[in-house]
Chain A
Amino acid sequence: EPEVTQTPSHQVTQMGQEVILRCVPISNHLYFYWYRQILGQKVEFLVSFYNNEISEKSEIFDDQFSVERPDGSNFTLKIRSTKLEDSAMYFCASSTGTGGNQPQHFGDGTRLSIL
């Protein structure tokens, strides 16, 4: 069964440094997403991406965050200058469409630790 893959599984970065999290969505999916989950909390939406542009973003997704689809298979999340509070699990997801009967499928995440 096709799946979303994310790399690296764990990223340790010094505060203030830039970090890029990588995702390979399911190949025939057209919608891509990033979510985060702070330890012990619920999963929070960050951003959705369709047709090479951001379609929706949350308040969390401020100017320090950006997303890119640099080629036909990868989808990346960049945090420009990391803060301690950016420490979390970051999940990539993809779907064939939006809304009913087109569920988002998630990768296993990247654990980001900011020191």
Chain B
Amino acid sequence: GESVGLHLPTLSVQEGDNSIINCAYSNSASDYFIWYKQESGKGPQFIIDIRSNMDKRQGQRVTVLLNKTVKHLSLQIAATQPGDSAVYFCAENKDDYKLSFGAGTTVTVRA
């Protein structure tokens, strides 16, 4: 069936280290993927997106990798900072209107 999920519900990372957040999806028809960050009391904040015709996209301190062979998506955060502490969601879209969200990974940055 269709689902977007994350491998781990929590991730603890030392400040300054790199973070890797993983997401698995099962719908091979999905062609657009987005990572959102949600801080406490806030709505999902767009971080970075990628289309299915790409396997890597870089932003400022973030990189998204897409492996369509194994239906896997990851978000890499370089030099993690305390402000990166949040819940991270991957979401998929298959050229329709709705986004399907995964369950989220809570990232905690240790000082």
Interface residues of A (CB under 8 A from B): 4, 6, 31, 33, 35, 41-45, 48, 50, 55-56, 58, 91, 98-101, 103-109
A108 adjacent to B41 (CB under 8 Å): yes
User: Which residues of A have CB within 8 Å of B99?
Assistant: 35, 43, 45, 104
Closest 7 pairs between A and B when the two form their complex, measured CB to CB:
A48-B97, A106-B43, A45-B98, A100-B51, A56-B97, A43-B101, A100-B32
User: Which residues of A have CB within 8 Å of B31?
Assistant: 99-100
Known: A100-B32, A106-B43. A43 touches B89 (CB 8 A): yes
Closest CB of chain B to A66's CB: distance in Å? Answer: 17
CA distance A86 to B27 in the complex (A): 29
Counting CB contacts under 8 A, is B73 at the interface?
A: no
Interface extent on B, as a size class?
A: 20 to 34
Interface centre among B43, B51, B99 (most CB of A within 10 A): B43
Residue of A nearest to B97 (CB): A48
Closest CB of chain A to B36's CB: distance in Å? Answer: 8
User: Which residues of B have CB within 8 Å of A41?
Assistant: 103
User: Which residues of A have CB within 8 Å of B102?
Assistant: 42
Known: A99-B32, A100-B32, A101-B49. A56 touches B43 (CB 8 A): no
A43 adjacent to B96 (CB under 8 Å): no
User: Which residues of B have CB within 8 Å of A4?
Assistant: 43
Pick from A44, A50, A91: contact of B43, CB below 8 A: A91
Pick from B36, B46, B95: contact of A98, CB below 8 A: B95
Closest CB of chain A to B11's CB: distance in Å? Answer: 17
A33 adjacent to B97 (CB under 8 Å): yes
Known: A91-B43, A106-B45. A42 touches B101 (CB 8 A): yes
Counting CB contacts under 8 A, is B63 at the interface?
A: no
User: Which residues of A have CB within 8 Å of B104?
Assistant: 42
B44 adjacent to A103 (CB under 8 Å): no
